[in-house]
Amino acid sequence: MEDFKEKIPIIIAVIIVIALMIGAYYFLCIHKSLYYTQIDNTKIEELSGNDDMKYQYTLMAYSKNGKEKEIQFKTSRELREDAYLELEVMSIRGVTNWKEVQKEELPEAVKAEMNVE
């Protein structure tokens, strides 16, 4: 019984480390946030190099609650001026996916921040 009591702190430490690893994995590899932006082709930078991604946008984007954040992402082509985009953003990796959406699909808080009627 005394052997078990001596091992309790080690068992607790191992459980805490495993929980921290699972939490880190979730936030770094799984958790995605959605942001919304509107394309402004004056905010584009043409990239040099052999990469497929030829352009980089730096735009203000808004979470579904209207929280503002500057986001950079790369594309293989220039995007349609004034198009609305939904961006999937991961904390470490940045934008992992984007798609064009209609203004009717924007959350109300985003519409208010972007002055969309």
Task: Encode pLDDT of 10-30 as tens digits.
Answer: 888 889 999 998 887 777 767
Residue ranges covered by each domain of the chain: 1-31, 32-114
Question: Residue 85 in contact with residue 99, Cβ under 8 Å?
Answer: yes
Task: Encode pLDDT of 89-117 as tens digits.
Answer: 987 788 989 999 999 999 999 999 998 87
Return d(Cα 107, Cα 117) in angstroms, integer. 12
Find residue 59's DSSP bridge partners: 71
Task: Encode pLDDT of 33-91 as tens digits.
Answer: 999 999 999 999 988 877 788 899 999 999 999 999 999 999 999 999 999 999 999 87
Burial label, 85 (beta-carbon count in 10 A; 0-12, 13-18, 19+): buried
CATH 2.40.50.480 fits 32-114, yes or no: yes
Predicted confidence at residue 1, as pLDDT, reads 63
